[in-house]
Structure 1
Amino acid sequence: MHTIYNVYRVAGMTCDHCASSVTEELSALDHVTDVDVNLTTGAVTITSADELSRPRVAAALAETGHRLTD
C-alpha cells in the first residue's frame, strides 16, 4: 500500500466552518486517510492510499461551495 500526498489551493475558505465542510467532504472520498486544511494559506493536503483525480477533488469541493485555484 502506498501513501500519496496531494496539496491543493482552495479558494474561499475563511473560517472554521469552511475548513470543517471541506475536511468532511474530502474525507468521504474513497481511499482518503487524512485531510489537513490550512486556512491561512488556503492549502489543503489530502493523504490517500490511492491516486485521486483532480476533477474528483474539484467536484467534492464544489459540494461545499469552494473551488480549486491552481
Structure 2
Amino acid sequence: MAEQIHTVSGMSCGHCAASITEEVLEVPDVTDVDVDVPASLVTVRGESVDADAVRAAIVEAGYEVTESMRTAVA
C-alpha cells in the first residue's frame, strides 16, 4: 500500500475535512483518507493512486495543495 501526504492551505474546521474526504474518496484506488486540520495535512492511502487526481480532488473541494509527498507503507 502506498501513502501520499499533501499539505493543504485553507482548512479551518470539520466541514473542511469532510469536504476534502468526500472528494478524495471518489478518486480510483483510494482506500483511506485522513485529514488533520490543525496540521494542514491530508494523508491518502491506496494502491496505485494517481497523485494528480488526488490534488485535483482537493482543489475541487475548494482548497489549495501547497506540497505533496509519497511514501510506501508496509
- Whether the TM-score (by the shorter chain) exceeds 0.5 is yes
Higher-strand-fraction structure: 2
2:66 maps to 1:69: yes
CA contact (8 A) 2:30 2:49 kept: no
What corresponds to 1:17 in structure 2?
15
- 1:47 alignment partner AA: R
Q: Which residue of 1 aligns with 2:33?
A: 35
Across the two proteins, how many residue pairs are aligned to each other? 67
Unaligned runs of 5+ in 2: 68-74
- 1:15 & 1:33 partners in 2: Cα distance? 23
Q: CA RMSD in A?
A: 1.0
SS of aligned partner of 1:9: strand
| Partner residue in 1 for 2:55 | 58
CA separation in 2, counterparts of 1:66 and 1:59?
10
TM-score, length-scaled by structure 2: 0.84
Moved over 3 A (4+): none
Per-residue CA deviations over 1:5-41 (Å, capped at 9, x if unaligned) read 0101001010100000000100110000000000110
- Structure 1: which 5+ residue stretches go unaligned? none
State the distance in 2 between where 1:29 and 1:15 align.
Answer: 22
* Counterparts of 2:61 and 2:14, CA distance in 1: 13
